[in-house]
Chains A and B, each alone.
Chain A
Amino acid sequence: GQNIDQPTEMTATEGAIVQINCTYQTSGFNGLFWYQQHAGEAPTFLSYNVLDGLEEKGRFSSFLSRSKGYSYLLLKELQMKDSASYLCAVKQAGTALIFGKGTTLSVSS
């Protein structure tokens, strides 16, 4: 079986830093993805981790610990446009992405 957990909702203010956690239990693992999805729009790719450690891409960073089944997405210098749903997704070998329920982030001024 598989289980991907992330918080349902988070709030933060402009300019702040927020960390969205994701824990997973899957029968196989071939990489962990973070996607951003604005309401009514398609998910867009943010980051991909397959090895332990931190991947940094501008204001966004993603961390993975395979032994702990844990990842986080770190968003710095938050902007209003970062208000969206953030989806953690795990790829098992030979299968498509399995998504977590998503974290709705609300950024206020």
Chain B
Amino acid sequence: DTEVTQTPKHLVMGMTNKKSLKCEQHMGHRAMYWYKQKAKKPPELMFVYSYEKLSINESVPSRFSPECPNSSLLNLHLHALQPEDSALYLCASRETGAGANVLTFGAGSRLTVL
């Protein structure tokens, strides 16, 4: 299995809803990432988990709450989002250790906040 699987592919939510995005990989990668990508813009780093511990939080608003329940799963909990949070949310993973640098991305979850 060489894939990163993200669900759901599409999500529409209101500003008062609580929802979650899920990401799963079975490649044994111990570093996992959330990126946010707006249309015609590059991916912007949100969070990095290394060995199930949060190692980087790029000053993301608290309405986004990441969780890494185990080495294969990464969640992004969403609450009280704003319309400007509408974007493609990409999960990625990579091996850890010397020379291991390539990020493998999932297909993304396209979020629309009404």
Q: Which residues of A contact B (CB under 8 A)?
A: 30-31, 33, 40-45, 48, 50, 87, 91, 95-102, 104
Contacts and interface: CB of A to CB of B under 8 A. Distances in A.
B48 A96 contact: yes
A97 B45 contact: yes
Nearest to A87: B42
Interface residues of B, number: 21
Contacts of B108: 41-42
Contacts of A100: 42
A42 B107 contact: yes
Contacts of A31: 101
Interface string B87-107: 010100000000001111111
Nearest to A104: B40
A40 B102 CA distance: 21
30 contacts: A30-B101, A33-B103, A40-B88, A41-B107, A41-B108, A42-B4, A42-B105, A42-B106, A42-B107, A42-B108, A43-B43, A43-B90, A43-B105, A44-B105, A45-B102, A45-B103, A48-B102, A87-B42, A95-B48, A95-B56, A96-B33, A96-B56, A96-B103, A98-B45, A99-B42, A100-B42, A101-B42, A102-B40, A102-B41, A104-B40
Interface in B55-104: 56, 88, 90, 101-104
A96 B56 CA distance: 9
Contacts of A50: 101
B42 A102 contact: yes
A45 B104 contact: yes
Contacts of B110: 40
A2 B104 CA distance: 23
